[in-house]
Amino acid sequence: MKKNSKIVNAGRQSKWTQGIVNPPVYRASTVVFDTVAEMKHASANKAKQVPFYGRRGTPTTFAFADAMNELEGGVGCYVYPCGTAAITSAILAFVKSGDHLLMVDTAYEPTRDFCQKTLAKFGVEVTFYDPMIGKAIGKLIQTNTKVIFLESPGSLTMEVQDVPGICAVAHAQPQDITVILDNTWASPINFQPFAHGVDVSVQAATKYIVGHSDVMLGTATANKKAWPILRENSYLLGQCASPDDIYLAMRGIRTLGVRLKQHQQSSLQIAKWLAERPEVKTVLHPALSSCPGHEFFERDFEGGNGLFSFVLNKSNDKALTALLDGMHHFKMGFSWGGFESLILGITGLKNMRSATEWPHQGALIRLHIGLEDVEDLIADLEQGFKRLNAHL
């Protein structure tokens, strides 16, 4: 089945829909049984998609999990109340006190904080590594290394990693190393994690899956080896998600293909325009050769989206504030993946890394290109540059 057809049909098995186009919302805490035999059957099969207790999931949950498995290529998917919960639960499922974890240096800030604050408290050693290390990651692997965590492209600075190269090295080790990838940028459709050697793929479904900036949700999809461990540990941590939120995510999936196509088309047009601006030192868009790891994007990805960054040649606090404060279409806000355009000005990147040195002096601007008209967005940025230049 082609990608767009899969997007429309994923998770719509008749056992969940009962003939209704969209799988309905099942809200439940208690699941009741008429006989002891039925209860025993549900208990014995609670690791499968059999209603047992609300926290294990309802048919709404199971339909969405099936859709994620179909789109990413996994055998099991657990649903969480947010993307960070998916990241932290996936990591905790595979490490214990005394273990070692390799974490990409460009990770999402809450992921880094979790490593430095929570995992350190639990006695898990963390080493941050250069996102562009590729197969040379083998030199950092220790006998107690249990997890290698990737995020590709990297948060804020967009480095694209050699995922299959790192996975090949990880799986060649004598110990059982689990490779976890934050696959949110690619969404479930533009990078196939399990075809490239990943064991667990994490999505902040809050972003492109939901697509409307009105739901918090996360997923972790796993291969056959990792799924039983991920499923049981996530359940023991008490993780579950609202069926109403899951329903909205399921609805968002149906338009994912056409939305991403428009996000990508608009972002490329704006990225190329920015590359010609005298105020811009470099554009960090995975689809452009100026982005570190662009060759891996070309090799491994099926498409892009609306999120990228660029670095200013010159800036100061006053000039950066003037640029940001006067925007009409671009609003300042954390997160991305909705229909709206967003802008963030980032300084102090040198303090956000420990294994690598950020090479640029100017401020970094991260954009999410929404579904507005490109000409309006370019005009908004052009006015922003005028305000920037007036304060330099």
**15 and 117 both lie in a single domain:** yes
Q: 61 burial class (0-12, 13-18, 19+ CB within 10 angstroms)?
A: buried
Contact (Cβ atoms closer than 8 angstroms) between residue 163 and residue 169: no
Confidence of residue 316 (pLDDT cuts 50, 70, 90): very high
Catalytic choice (99, 130, 182, 245): 182
- The pLDDT assigned to 163 comes to 98
The percentage of residues in the chain with a pLDDT greater than 90, rounded to a whole number, is: 93
User: Which is nearest to 366 in space by CA: 305, 289, 311, 292?
Assistant: 311
The percentage of residues in the chain with a pLDDT greater than 70, rounded to a whole number, is: 100
Catalytic choice (207, 254, 259, 366): 207
DSSP string, 127-195: EEE-TT-GGGGGGG--TTEEEEEEESSPTTT-PPP-HHHHHHHHHTSSS-PEEEEE-TTTTTTS--TGG
- The pLDDT assigned to 211 comes to 97
In this structure, which amino acid lies at residue 290? Answer: S
- 112 catalytic? Reply is no
Instruction: Please state the separation of Cα 135 from the chain's center in Å.
Output: 23
> Which of 11-25, 127-141, 243-257, 307-321 is predicted least confidently?
11-25
- The pLDDT assigned to 392 comes to 93
**91 and 183 both lie in a single domain:** yes
d(Cα 277, Cα 105) in Å, to the nearest integer?
A: 29
d(Cα 242, Cα 247) in Å, to the nearest integer?
A: 9
Domain boundary among 253, 277, 310: 253
Q: Which residues have CB under 8 Å from 165's CB, separation 6+?
A: 134, 135
Q: Report the residue count for the chain.
A: 392
Q: What is the number of H-type helices and E-type strands within the chain?
A: 14, 11
Contact (Cβ atoms closer than 8 angstroms) between residue 107 and residue 149: yes
User: Which is nearest to 339 in space by CA: 210, 186, 211?
Assistant: 211
Mean pLDDT, the chain, whole residue set:
96
User: Does 95 have pLDDT greater than 90?
Assistant: yes
pLDDT digits 0-9 by tens, 230-270: 999 999 999 999 999 999 999 999 999 999 999 999 999 99
Domain boundary among 253, 279, 303: 253
CATH number, position 120: 3.40.640.10
Q: Tokens for 93? A: 């499922």
What pTM, to 2 d.p., does this model score? 0.96
Confidence of residue 183 (pLDDT cuts 50, 70, 90): very high
- The pLDDT assigned to 33 comes to 96
Q: Which structural domain, as residue segments, surrounds residue 272?
A: 256-390
Give the DSSP H or E segment for 282: strand 280-284
SS3 for 265? Answer: helix
- The pLDDT assigned to 28 comes to 93
d(Cα 3, Cα 106) in Å, to the nearest integer?
A: 30
Contact (Cβ atoms closer than 8 angstroms) between residue 277 and residue 285: no
- 46 catalytic? Reply is no
Catalytic choice (26, 108, 208, 235): 108
Domain boundary among 253, 269, 294: 253
d(Cα 350, Cα 354) in Å, to the nearest integer?
A: 8
- The pLDDT assigned to 46 comes to 79
**226 and 96 both lie in a single domain:** yes
- The pLDDT assigned to 15 comes to 87
Strand partners, 344: 366
Arithmetic mean of pLDDT, 183-209:
98
CATH number, position 384: 3.90.1150.10
> Which of 13-27, 104-118, 276-290 is predicted least confidently?
13-27
**234 and 326 both lie in a single domain:** no
**143 and 208 both lie in a single domain:** yes
pLDDT digits 0-9 by tens, 336-387: 999 999 999 999 888 889 999 999 989 999 999 999 999 999 999 999 999 9
Catalytic choice (3, 55, 224, 318): 55
- The pLDDT assigned to 351 comes to 84
**245 and 376 both lie in a single domain:** no
| Structural domain count of the chain | 2
**105 and 126 both lie in a single domain:** yes
- 2 catalytic? Reply is no
User: Does 200 have pLDDT greater than 90?
Assistant: yes
pLDDT digits 0-9 by tens, 104-122: 999 999 999 999 999 999 9
**247 and 283 both lie in a single domain:** no
Confidence of residue 324 (pLDDT cuts 50, 70, 90): very high
**229 and 264 both lie in a single domain:** no
- The pLDDT assigned to 176 comes to 84
**163 and 55 both lie in a single domain:** yes
**304 and 375 both lie in a single domain:** yes
188, 271, 319 from 6: Cα distances, Å: 11, 30, 47
**244 and 288 both lie in a single domain:** no
- 55 catalytic? Reply is yes
| 98 Rama class: left (phi>0) / alpha (psi -120 to 50) / beta | left
